[in-house]
A and B are shown apart, each in its own frame.
Chain A
């Protein structure tokens, strides 16, 4: 019972603290500072809308409206500050260090032609130049109705410029190939077998170009940035036929094929170094299909059914269109802007 009053005192003390914090947030300290800043612009109390917005930060109502509170605030602040401090600040610098004193002919400077290049967007949300992008995701084949080829994939890109990157990527398909029931149904119903192919892995060297970027307002409440890119490259895919014509004799080994790829992607930034990636890419390679005919000669002789040379049939240019969903991390995490906002 002796400690009860102490507990109550602690509770009351804790209850008081928030009131103090609240008071700090709403206090006029910021108003005074902002007001002073405003006053430096115009001692007669005429301030542009942006400046007045800052000046009105201490008042909820005024902050919401932006400009209306400006005149009063600046007027008051002007009285507090008196003369414009800008001039006296320069004088002080000149007194302390004459060498640092600005010595410009303002008329001459104003007459100089301006050749500064202005970009449509001076500061994109996330700069990519001289940054690495590490992508990880899961992809799913879009165009093969016979065998689906999902795969985890990784990619590493380095942005040489803000819009151009060189990189590598790879997929691992081997345990995930799925021969669909539909194939067996066709074989059973029509006595027609379709040669099937499964993939082991794929890897490529790529160039990425980012021609488009933009931003979205979600539910009119929050804004997120995105960019769209095109990607293309060359690499290899390890593939082999799934034996369906003569599974008793045929057992194919994986073979590496030259593969070209091209695709488009969309990157949605959650912050300046983390993004979600949606990509569709077509990997094209020359596939060697299973032979539709079976040798009637038993054994593994030159023309025997067990000779791997008799297992392969025609070659076919195959498209492996993959949709990929993943995440991207940009390293280093931070960057400096070259141009002002």
Chain B
């Protein structure tokens, strides 16, 4: 019994000694940290930082170009409004409408083929036309889904601030920001139908999709009150971009069912590049210590 007690005491003392030694090492490391710091200890990383954002409103007319579109490209005109609570955090919204819609080369090719097929007498039982009767209306380009407008309230974080030297002669203040929020997207798509071969089944209808939106951008400050911005935005959601019957039947509803339904909406990781011209109000910025 005594031996057991002695062993326990021994172990306790050893553990205590080890713990003290560990504490001692930690203190020593802290001491080295102090040695490494110099006369700028405690000084901010940047002095006299120009706060281009803090306490200012940002009005930014914007033009956005959609990327990697399968059937139709959209150019959206709009603006971004932000209030910058601090130099690194702001809240606002981006809104735009689809001003210009340009069919892709693929859409033009499909329509060319479609138009040629439609030259054939509809009663002649022409096979290609029969097979595409559900999917191709009189004018394919008019059945394409389109993005009509977008409103996106968003939170913007600006973690990186800096400057850029161009050819050692032009110097610009810059920042890199990230943003995110919900987006409300006005869409025009081919309407749902059961008998989808009649001309009226190719009519279009509008709906609103709600989707997440996020992205990042660069700001290049031209002067005290204006800047140029470039940003990339992701806007993923499902929609029927072609007006095709692609799903709804067969195993797992992955095959055509000769109807246009919500199942025909395919997931698209919609992307766009935006160019902005930012105006900051009030016109004068503040400067840090």
Interface residues of A (CB under 8 A from B): 1, 3-4, 7-8, 10-12, 14-15, 17-19, 21-22, 24-26, 53-54, 56-57, 60, 63-64, 66, 119-121, 142-143, 145, 182, 185-186, 188-192, 194, 211-223, 226, 228
Indicate if the CB atoms of A189 and B31 lie closer than 8 Å: no
Q: Does B208 contact A (CB under 8 A)?
A: no
**Which DSSP category, helix, strand, loop or mixed, fits chain B's interface?**
mixed
A8 cross-chain contacts in B, Cβ below 8 A: 13, 16-17
B86, chain A: closest CB distance, angstroms: 10
B150, chain A: closest CB distance, angstroms: 21
Q: Does B250 contact A (CB under 8 A)?
A: no
Q: Which of B62-70, B179-187, B197-205 contacts A (4 or more CB under 8 A)?
A: B62-70
**Given contacts A4-B13, A63-B42, are A189 and B165 in contact (CB under 8 A)?**
no
* Among all A-B residue pairs, the 3 with the closest Cβ atoms: A18-B27, A216-B162, A214-B164
Number of A-B contacts (CB under 8 A): 166
Q: Does B246 contact A (CB under 8 A)?
A: yes
Interchain CA distance A192-B17 in the complex, whole Å: 80
Indicate if the CB atoms of B131 and A221 lie closer than 8 Å: no
Interchain CA distance A7-B16 in the complex, whole Å: 8
A51, chain B: closest CB distance, angstroms: 10
A194 cross-chain contacts in B, Cβ below 8 A: 106, 109
Q: How large is the interface on B (under 10, 10 to 19, 20 to 34, 35 or more residues)?
A: 35 or more
A7 cross-chain contacts in B, Cβ below 8 A: 13-14, 16-17
Partner of A25, one of B23, B34, B242: B34
**Given contacts A56-B39, A190-B136, A217-B46, are A1 and B28 in contact (CB under 8 A)?**
no
B35, chain A: closest CB distance, angstroms: 5
Partner of B135, one of A54, A56, A189, A218: A189
**Given contacts A11-B17, A11-B21, are A25 and B49 in contact (CB under 8 A)?**
no
Interface residues of B (CB under 8 A from A): 6, 9-10, 13-14, 16-17, 20-21, 23-28, 30-32, 34-35, 38-46, 49, 67-70, 87-88, 106, 109-110, 113-114, 128, 131-132, 135-136, 140, 159-169, 171, 174, 176, 242, 244-246, 256, 266
Interchain CA distance A308-B159 in the complex, whole Å: 57
Indicate if the CB atoms of B246 and A185 lie closer than 8 Å: yes
> Chain A residue with minimal CB distance to B243?
A189
Indicate if the CB atoms of A217 and B24 lie closer than 8 Å: no
